[in-house]
Amino acid sequence: MKNLLFIPFLFVCSMVIGQSSKIIGTPYRLTKIEVAQYDFPKQMHWNEAKKACANLGSGWRLPTKDELNLMYKNRKKIGGFEINRFWSSTESSSTNAWGQGFYNGAQNYYPKDYNASVRAVRAF
């Protein structure tokens, strides 16, 4: 019975690891953070975005408002950004969080149930 439960466990682990490597790729080092090489494949709500970044493991997280702006300023060096709004981890209230448009650089707060793009970072 234990062997039968172990096989699905390995399958789930390989799916999580596979998803992680497709997002993280070869991280770009920027000041004190590493930026994942790729955006998540779908836009998501803020709470989903926080969980998705954390699920990458090893300290990966949603960038702060300031880190997101730094990423925007270096977007051509980093590469691969969609021309969308991206979430930051910085909350402006219990129902809103800051994001940034990668089409114009404007930072603004949005309802947390708004769908936006996500790029993970971690400290190094």
- Give the model's pLDDT for residue 20: 83
Superfamily of structural domain 2-123: Mannose-Binding Protein A, subunit A (3.10.100.10)
CB atoms within 10 A of CB 96: 16
Distance between CA atoms of 85 and 67, rounded to whole angstroms? 14
What is the structure's pLDDT at 122? 98
Q: What is the pTM of this model?
A: 0.83
pLDDT score of 16: 41
CA 6 to chain centre: 30
**Which pLDDT does position 3 carry in this prediction?**
56
Give me the DSSP letters along 51-65. Answer: HHHHTT-TT-BPPPH
pLDDT < 70 regions, the chain = 1-19
How large is the C-alpha radius of gyration of the chain? 16
Q: Where are the domains of the chain?
A: 2-123
Beta bridge partners of 96: 111
114: nearest Cα among 81, 82, 86: 86
